[in-house]
Copies of this chain bind each other. A is one copy, B any other.
Amino acid sequence: MCADRNSPISPSPISGFPEWTPAERMLEQQMLDRIRAAFERFGFSPIETPAVERNTVLTAKGGAETERQIYSLTSLHPQSGGARDYSLHFDLTVPLARYVAQHNNALVFPFRRYQIQKVWRGERPQHGRFREFTQCDIDIVGDGKLSLMADAEIPAVISDLFTSLNIGAFTIRISNRKILAGYLERIGFSGSDAADTLREADKIDRQGTAPLMQHLESLSVSQSTAEEILSLIQMQGGSAEILDNLGAMSDVGEQFQQGVSELKAVFEHTAEFGIPDQNIAVDLGIVRGLDYYTGTIYETRLNDHPQLGSICSGGRYDDLASYFIRKTLPGVGISIGFTRLFSQLLQAEIIKPVSASTAQALVTIPDESLMSEAIQAASAMRSAGINTEIFFEPARLGRQLRYASRKGFRFAVIPLSEDIEKAQIKLRDMNEGEEFTFPIADLPQQILRMLQQ
């Protein structure tokens, strides 16, 4: 942020490409570690794909909006050429589809993968939007078929994950796209009219009901039918009650009924999966990406921070990779737009950096004659599993302790010279300001004991 104006090439941030301080990066790593641990608790296996894919792969599905955002590679040196066929990936779904198609024979299905990687989108930078960001995705992909129980397991992963992140109360909202789509089909909506209606329904959270009602009017839908649609989307009540009400609706067609029965089945095992009641709710108001999801859909919100929108979303799809392989690969998955979530949590001070050092203890050197004692103390602490830095620069002890305090060390270790107390050290708890003196040999155990308190 603060480039020296006298420097030959003044470095400055690149808009949309976030960069954190070491203390913030430690916090980011801690959160990513917890997300990874939650994914692994449910037996998802890691994959990583190259940052680039062939342009033919990235644009297989089309979509002018996405293509406009793709960063393509070229050589800086005009003579070199060569890389023009590759671009940076803009999500982890296209790479997953390509990976599963390419390594199809080597994979065991159902294939459960997690992927935590950067993606790049040449978006116009604006508040909360990044051009480089980390996504955390999981998917369960079946070969030809995939049990509905996979849909039921996904909320358990979400619940476990956000509980372990410890960033406040959250609600997983769950629905099934067949319910609303079936309802619209039943009242005679054709493909694009239905898709447009779902898109307007998806806006209710941000824009209210007016756009949907105007849209329905433009399709010459009667006032009473429009209100029926709205009351379906906004159906109130507990999850069990909503499921009962949906089950009791008659003359709703096969697709609607299938959606309701899938949603019931997914919801049925919630408690056995260990999901607390207050963390999950049936909500027909969530709709999501129209051309991809075909069944169960998920959104997740922080109860106290609704302005963040959905922080973890996904759903069931019928067809992952038909652009790349003649095989039906149905799946279900979720994605966390991690960088946006992390930056907003930081900004709202829901999470706060604690220390700029990965080490718990700083070993000071009050006098150069104590160099050997300092190094031996540090080596013993590291062997005991205590991350330890040594302050090697010649400086008065006061400056060394200020360094310890600025970087946020919990402990400072001060070797004592022979004429004070032979082979003794002083341990200073920087949080409490207390000091303890004991033999160097006891140091690791003393620190471990204090860390456990």
Contact = CB atoms under 8 A, between A and B. Distances in A.
A14 B87 CA distance: 12
B55 A76 contact: yes
A324 B7 contact: yes
A258 B307 CA distance: 62
The 9 closest A-B pairs by CB, nearest first: A43-B389, A43-B359, A17-B50, A149-B392, A22-B45, A40-B358, A147-B392, A70-B76, A11-B102
A393 B17 contact: no
Interface residues of A, number: 122
A150 interface: yes
Contact of A388 (B4, B41, B118, B122): B41
Interface string A99-114: 1011111111010110
A146 B395 CA distance: 12
14 contacts: A2-B103, A2-B106, A7-B323, A8-B60, A8-B324, A9-B56, A21-B106, A23-B45, A26-B45, A41-B387, A70-B76, A149-B371, A153-B390, A273-B379
A431 interface: no
Contacts of A70: 75-77
A323 B8 contact: yes
A101 B11 contact: yes
Contact of A11 (B18, B113, B324): B324
Contacts of A272: 372, 375-376, 379
Contacts of A6: 326
A52 B17 contact: yes
Interface of A: 1-4, 6-14, 17-23, 25-26, 28-29, 39-60, 67-77, 79-80, 82-83, 86-88, 98-99, 101-108, 110, 112-113, 118, 120, 122, 132, 142, 145-147, 149-150, 153, 156, 160, 269, 272-274, 322-327, 356-359, 362, 371-372, 375-376, 379, 382-383, 387-390, 392-394, 403, 406-407
Given A20-B48, A272-B372, A74 B77 contact: no
B372 A269 contact: yes
A91 to B, nearest CB: 15
Contacts of A29: 46
A149 B387 CA distance: 18
Contact of A98 (B11, B50, B60, B68): B11
Contacts of A3: 101-102, 324-325
Contact of A77 (B2, B21, B68, B388): B68
Nearest to A326: B6
A323 B327 CA distance: 54
Given A10-B324, A102-B2, A108-B406, A71 B74 contact: yes
Given A142-B393, A272-B372, A74 B72 contact: yes
A321 to B, nearest CB: 8
A74 to B, nearest CB: 5
A117 to B, nearest CB: 9
